[in-house]
Amino acid sequence: MQRLAMDLRVLSRELALYVEHQVRVGFFGSGVGLSLILGFSVAYACYYLSSIAKKPQLVIGGESFSRFLQDHCPVVTETYYPTVWCWESRGQTLLRPFITAKPRVQYRNELIKTADGGQISLDWFDNNNSACYVDASTRPTILLLPGLTGTSKESYILHMIHLSEELGYRCVVFNNRGVAGESLLTPRTYCCANTEDLEAVIHHVHSLYPLAPFLAAGVSMGGMLLLNYLGKIGSKTPLMAAATFSVGWNTFACSESLERPLNWLLFNYYLTTCLQSSVKKHRHMFVGQIDMDQVMKAKSIREFDRRFTSVMFGYRTLDDYYTDASPNRRLKSVGIPVLCLNAADDVFSPSHGTGACCQA
C-alpha cells in the first residue's frame, strides 16, 4: 500500500505539472476547467495504479526454475505498467503497426527441402560481428517463429533480432511454407498442430552448429507450434530452452473470443482475409483437393480452418483439428525449461482458456 500511495503521489504531481503548463488558468473563464482536469487526472491515476498496473501471475513447475527467473529475469516479478494512454489490449494491437519502428536487419536466405518435396524459407541473421561470441561454431542460436501469417519482416521479429544482436546471438527465422515469397512446391501449407516442418528445421539448424547453444522463441501461432513440438518430442530435442508470447492455449476458447462481434470486426475478419491471400497465390496447387471457391468465401478463421486447414491435414472434423492444435493438452510432456508470457486481457488468448495450463 505504501508503494501504491507513493506511485499515486508521483503520478498526480506529474499530471498536475503537465496541466499547469499546458492549460491556461483562465480556462472557461475561471479555474473550474483546471479543477475538472486535475480531478479527472487524479481519478484516472487511482484507477490505473489500483486496477491496471499489476504484477504478473507466475505459474512455475519447479523451484529451481523459479529461482532462475528471479535471478536472471526479474521483470516477471515486477509490477507491469502498461502504456498510460493506451493500456487496453485491443487498442494496443490496433495501434502497434502504426507506431512501432522497424530496425534494419540484413538477412541471408536459405531454402531447405522437406521429405515430401516441399521447401521452407529460412532467414538468417549470422551476427558475424559478435564481440561476445567470436567463434561462429559456438555462437548461441535462436530460432524465431512468427505468428499466423507473419514472416521475418514483422516488426516484433526485427526487434527480437535487434535485442539478440546486442547479446551477441545468431538468429534464424522459420517462415512457414508459402508465406515469404517462395514457391509452394507441394499442395501443403502449414498449421500449428503439424510439427513436421519445425522438426526438419530444428534438425537442420542443429546439424549446422551442433556445438552452439540452441534456443527458440515463438509468437502467437508460432508459439503454439513450438509448444506442440516440445510436447510431442519431450526431452529429446536439441533445444536447451524456449520462450513463447501470446500463445493461444485452447484453440476453442481463442476462436470463441475472436468471434465476439467487436473482436470479429477488428481482428477476425482481417486475419481471415490475410489467410485467404496467403493461399490464393498458390490456388492452382490445391485443385482437386480443396474447394477453393468455398475457402475464399470464409468470413472467419473458424470457417477458413473448417474448409481449408483441417481438410489439408486430414482431420475428420474441425473439432478434431482444434483439439490437436491446443498446446494445453501437451504442456506436461515438455522436457525443457520454457517461459510463456501471456497478457490477461489478450483477445487472441482469453485468460479462461489457460485454466488447464495453470494446473500443469
The residue among 272, 280, 319, 274 whose CA lies nearest residue 300 is 272
Tell whether pTM > 0.85: yes
Model pLDDT, residue 8? 54
Model pLDDT, residue 282? 94
**Which amino acid does the sequence have at 135?**
D
Model pLDDT, residue 74? 87
Cβ count within 10 A of residue 180: 20
Residue 172's beta-bridge partner residues?
124, 143
Model pLDDT, residue 350? 81
Model pLDDT, residue 137? 97
Residues 6+ apart with CB under 8 A from 252: 322, 326, 353
Collapsing DSSP to helix, strand or coil, 13 comes out as helix
**Rounded CA separation 126/25 (Å):** 58
Model pLDDT, residue 10? 58
**Rounded CA separation 323/93 (Å):** 27
The residue among 149, 127, 147, 151 whose CA lies nearest residue 139 is 127
The residue among 209, 201, 138 whose CA lies nearest residue 168 is 138
**φ, ψ dihedrals at 139, nearest 5°:** -70, 125
The residue among 181, 191, 179, 327 whose CA lies nearest residue 252 is 327
pLDDT in single tens digits along all 360 residues of the chain: 455 555 555 555 655 555 555 544 444 445 566 777 888 888 888 888 888 899 988 888 778 888 888 888 888 889 999 888 888 888 888 888 788 788 999 999 999 999 999 999 999 999 999 999 999 999 999 999 999 999 999 999 999 999 999 999 999 999 999 999 999 999 999 999 999 999 999 999 999 999 999 999 999 999 999 999 999 999 999 999 999 999 999 999 999 999 999 999 999 999 999 999 999 999 999 998 999 999 999 999 999 999 999 999 999 999 999 999 999 999 999 999 999 999 988 988 887 766 545 444
The residue among 163, 176, 99 whose CA lies nearest residue 125 is 163
Model pLDDT, residue 359? 42
Cβ-count burial 303-319 (b if 16+ within 10 Å, e if not): bbbbbbbbbbbebeebe
**Rounded CA separation 67/74 (Å):** 10
- Name the packing angle between helices 196-208 and 221-233 (round to 10°): 80
